[in-house]
Structure 1
Amino acid sequence: MSVCDKVISLAQKISVDECESVFCTKKTITIRITDSEIAEIKENHDRSIGIRLVKDKRISSAQSNASEYDKIIQEALHAGKNLSPREFWKSFPVGSKDTPIEKTNDPKLWEMDSARATELAQSMIDHTIHQKITRISGSLNIVCDDFEIANTSGLHKSEKSTYISGLINADSEIGTPVSGIGQANSRVLDLFDAAKIGEDASQMCVSSINPDTIQNKTASIILEPQAVGELLYFVLGPNFNLKTFSEGRSCFSEIGAKITVDDFSLVDDPHAPNSLGAKSFDDEGVPTNPRHYIRDGAFEGTFSDTYNALKENTISTGNACRFGVPLGRSTDPIPVSAPHNLSIIPGSQTRDEIIQNTQDGIVVGRLWYTYPINPIKGDFSCTARSGIFQIKNGQIKPIKSVRIIHNLPILLQNISAIGNNSKVVLPWAGLPVTCPTIKCDGIPVSSI
């Protein structure tokens, strides 16, 4: 009998109405890079369990290590006595068939040890080194997890997953300090390119040296995938959360309304092979499926987990998430609603074509401090500090940091080009997104 089945069996003996049990075995290797060298190597193995109990429509939860599941049942039951009933609650999801996804579980990553991981991290450093680069920092994370979920509605599923993610920041203090970033993410080792992470960071940093100051202006902005990812995760994505939408806190108020240009489509694609967010079922066991949030410029739908869906008298979209740190799944007893792999459908133009077709504009390689100012109106702020270049009369020159304060609905209506160079981006402390280069016109920028 599995751990999840044992938990459910014990819970049923104390006459709860429903029980959900999640169990996860996890291996994590983390390598931290500081001052251009490997500063820390950590390997961790963890087994944990989380439960949700329902009794008289009171929903309680608890989490602990895998050897104390009998104890946390009593803890959750005791805590539930002080909770209010959730009258809208019906039941946990029932069992259903899932779609297998390729390139999401690699035996090579399960077998990898710290010595081999250190070689990859050193390769990232070696390919960043340049005489004009002062300092290199970053990290390499390898995560392998075996996730199991079961409930009293007859659902019982498990899935093994692997993840590898590398990040390098390169800094130069020649004149005005500048930086560059390189990042790569994969689910399988053979598709992970450690050398390119360093090369990308080095190239962005070195090409940004000796930047000019520009005057405040309104211009066409070409956002590279790393910059688009920041806006997508922190500013655009939250508007499609069913809870946010139903409470009137989304800057989009009507499903079916035209909210952006015809060429723009936004989808959550958890079935994309080798994507960090790919999974055959969500963290409540509901099958995942690709879903459009924007189709050909029109607002099409929202995402939710079971709890928030039932609260609005609808069904889950298969977007319950229990976030693992630094990647993967966890046994957090209460899941939240989130997209798995938020993706902008790529266009037909290359990045170079977009730049060549821009007479006067700014290329932004990376954004920092990206956050909504007034989410209901769609106002946001961000700072471009890495890989910023001005396009003027066919020439591209580096420029100093600029601040962008703008409005999301207006920005979406002024997209003039979408690239074909989609890339998986992992925003800082965020979830994976997939996005290409995008050009937006009429964006105000202010010199810092």
Structure 2
Amino acid sequence: MSDATFPAGGRAVADAKAPPRRDIGLKRRYASERRFKAYGIAAIAVGMIFLATLLWTVVSQGYTAFWQTQIRLPITFSQSVIDPKNTGGKDLQALRLANYPKLVQDALVQRLGIDPKNRADVTAATQLVSQGVRTQLGGMVMEDLSVIGTTQDVWLYANSTVDSAVKGQFDLSIPEERRPIKDKQLEWIRTLEQAGDMEQRFNTGLFTFGASSRAETAGVGVAIIGSLYMMAIVLALALPIGVAASIYLEEFAPKNRFTDFIEVNINNLAAVPSIVYGLLGLAIFVNYMGLPRSASLVGGLVLTLMTLPTIIIATRAALKAVPPSIRAAALGLGASRMQMVFHHVLPLAMPGILTGTIIGLAHALGETAPLLLIGMVAFVANYPTTPMDPSTALPVQIYMWANEAERAFVERTSGAIIVLLLFLAVMNITAIILRRRFERRW
């Protein structure tokens, strides 16, 4: 179309009404920024939703593990049952092997008004109490021999099935033959609850007991001690070795192909799957060096190898963050290279080193795969007294409980996850506090 079709001055009028190209470009950039912010907010929201779902699932299934149903019974510590030979408590083996379940059975028969000749009712009543009463009552006798011949009110752990029923984890409205707990047992439970002889109390055993095939007497006490042993070994070995290697590579090592090769391999080792470290520990520490399987020492050594690359990378980053002017000033005042590093550079890099170390320890605390390969999945009921004794760790204990078929172990698994998450949260919060406490701004 030719210009003759437009009236005179028409093009100038049209150009005056059109917005400048600069304004169109600004609007597009602002719109792009708004979209980017929206994408970021959406990504954060999705992440928070998944995190909240995870925490809600764990907490809702695991908070009940911190309470345990217990039954109060008047236990008569009959000498004819505990010490029939009247040795005065000198025969410790006899005291440990005494028929303590018989004492509980007699107390239940008397408390619930059951006919002792009705074996079905006696058996059903005995099933209300955990089979771990032998250990509990035996421990009371071993601690205080004066209880023999007396009657004491004792709070005993209820059976895991009873505990689950009291907590509402079973549908009690279904027919009796489809329930693990019978109508008569439910009647006895209501009787004990109304009398105040059955209640949910804080489950200290979750933190003090070791491994057990019975959910009500299973705890993470041994796993916590094993994890503490391993973390102490990792801290004692990985921190000095990692910091020394970092200082050498960053401050003293010549820049050549050999050091470049070492740096590349350190970065590669940080990305190696943890199960590979388990295979390495099995081959070297167990098969070659002959160290005992499932010992905290072996677990600590394996986790040390796994944590070293993380500490080295974090320490080198902290050393690089120290301004070059600090080095130049120290050398200009006559300090040697060693004095410059240890008197000036290292103290200023310490916040980053501590942060990297704690994060590395937190990573090691949550590892499971390498520990499974060195045998720390063993059933360990007794506390380890030294790092050479058989032990387990918190994540391994969680793994073992997750494979149990009994319903009560579901809440134990989630409860142990809560304990592990609390440990990890404390370690990460400590790293943040230390970094802010010692951080210096340039």
Relative to its length, the structure with more strand (as a share) is: 1
The TM-score normalised by the length of structure 2 is 0.22
Which is bigger in relative contact order (C-alpha 8 A, separation at least 6)? 2
Relative to its length, the structure with more helix (as a share) is: 2
The TM-score normalised by the length of structure 1 is 0.22
